[in-house]
Amino acid sequence: RVARNAQKFVQEAQVALGFPIEVIAGVEEARLIYIGTSHEAPAVSGNRLVIDVGGGSSEFIIGKGYEPKLLESLYIGCVSHSIRFFPNGAIDPHAFKEAELAARREVQVIKGRFSKSGWNQVIGSSGTARALSDLIADNKLNGSGEKSTLDPLDNSGAGVITLQGLKGLKKRLLDFDHIDRVQLINLKDDRRPVLPGGLSIMLAIFDELGIERMEVSDAALRVGVLYDLLGRTQHDDMRFVTVEQFMQRYAVDREQAHRLGMLAADFLAQLPKPNHESRTDNLALLGWSANLHEVGLSISHNGYHKHSAYIAANADMPGFSKNDQARLAALLLGHTGKLGKLSNNANFTDWRMLFCIRLAHVLCRSRMD
């Protein structure tokens, strides 16, 4: 998401893999993580806090049942933090303190809203949480009697992270001056370089949010993506919910949006379909474009299509990938005005849909059936 050469890398990676790559926003990642975690965890009364410390970012979600209510993504991760504060694997108490303080400053931004919502259960997901819980259990740093409710058959104490365990792990880590010399039972080679960064971030999170105990789930983003894709085939597509929310937020003229969408869809149905395209997906994108083409009016009538495109490209839109948003924004930008603004975009290929929505827009200017 933050790489300066992201576009070039994605293009080359797509060729190498033979599959399209969709980059998702941090908040969308948070939503998918919660979906995956909540579907694999036992039901709990009240709110659930899910925390995912990744390599370059950390996601925080409060939800109830299967529905996320509060989502945030912070640019602190075990890899980036380890590189920044523990270069070349060097470890010392001062660097660890600085790493904790830096992470705490980031978490303080979301602390107020999250603490106000409250939670009855805390779940950690993905590699950092699992690695820390395993190290704490294997090195007997949690104390006795800890047992995960997510895996009631496991009596080893794995799957649970306590504040006591994190502090014990920190004490053990700071006995060494370099990560290569750290001696901890079952410290895996792939986790060794990022342990200081991940541990300092998790300690900062526990301290700032007042967490004493966290349970660890193996279900996260990957599982959430599968549930989300399954929902799309079962008429439970989050993208339609998002578009509906945007229409309400920006007071869209629903009759005009419907009028434009139906006419554009009729035009698209009359055009031959390229073999590599999905008509269902194209009709959905065309419909969303029609529904959102006037959201920019909430900012200004002058150049409203530019405002509409900006909103679509930059807003948090649950269910939409960055590629989805870029395609949607291009259609909103090009539905009226000159085409020069799109002809220079080598990545734009939705000319058939653009033709349909432009023609429909011309014919619907009277705003009458």
State pLDDT tens for residues 32-73.
999 999 988 888 889 999 999 999 999 999 999 989 999 999
Give which of 296, 295, 286 is closest to 356, Cα–Cα.
Answer: 286
How far apart are the C-alpha atoms of 214 and 191, rounded to whole Å? 20
Amino acid at 290: A
Q: CATH for 6-227? A: 3.30.420.150
Question: Which of the residue ranges 15-19, 91-95, 194-198, 226-230 would you say has the lowest mean pLDDT?
Answer: 226-230
Check whether 274 has a pLDDT greater than 90: no
Lowest mean pLDDT among 6-10, 118-122, 194-198, 205-209: 6-10
Q: Where in the chain is the domain with CATH 1.10.3210.10?
A: 237-363
Average pLDDT over residues 295-322: 91
In the chain, which residues fall in CATH 3.30.420.150? 6-227
What fold characterizes domain 237-363? Hypothetical protein af1432 (1.10.3210)
Which pLDDT score, from 0 to 100, does residue 146 have?
62
What percentage of the chain carries pLDDT values higher than 70?
94
pLDDT value, residue 78: 96
Q: Are the CB atoms for 177 and 91 separated by under 8 Å?
A: yes
**Segment (H or E) for 162:** strand 160-162
pLDDT at 48: 95
Q: Which residue has the tokens 């303190």?
A: 97
Q: What angle do CA 4, 318, 17 make, to 5 degrees?
A: 50
* Phi, psi angle pair for 15, to nearest 5°: -65, -45
Mean pLDDT lowest for which of 141-155, 183-197, 198-212? 141-155
Whole-number pLDDT of residue 306: 93
Side chain identity, residue 11:
Q
What are the start-end ranges of the H helices in the chain?
6-17, 26-40, 78-85, 93-117, 126-138, 163-173, 195-209, 221-233, 238-249, 254-269, 279-292, 304-314, 322-334, 340-343, 351-363
Average pLDDT over residues 199-206: 98
Kindly state the average pLDDT of the residues 303-330: 91
Q: Take residue 363 and report the two structure tokens written for it.
A: 């014919």
pTM: 0.76
pLDDT of residue 237: 82
Per-residue pLDDT at 234 exceeds 70 = no
pLDDT beyond 90 at 310: yes
C-alpha triplet 317, 320, 326: angle, nearest 5°? 95
- Judge whether 61 and 30 are in contact, CB under 8 Å: yes
Distance, in Å, from the CA atom of 201 to the CA atom of 203, rounded to the nearest integer, reads 5
pLDDT computed for residue 149 by the predictor: 65
pLDDT at 209: 97
pLDDT on residue 154 = 56
Does the pLDDT at position 115 exceed 90?
yes
Instruction: Tell me the pLDDT of the chain averaged across its residues.
Output: 90
Residue 142's pLDDT band (boundaries 50, 70, 90)? confident
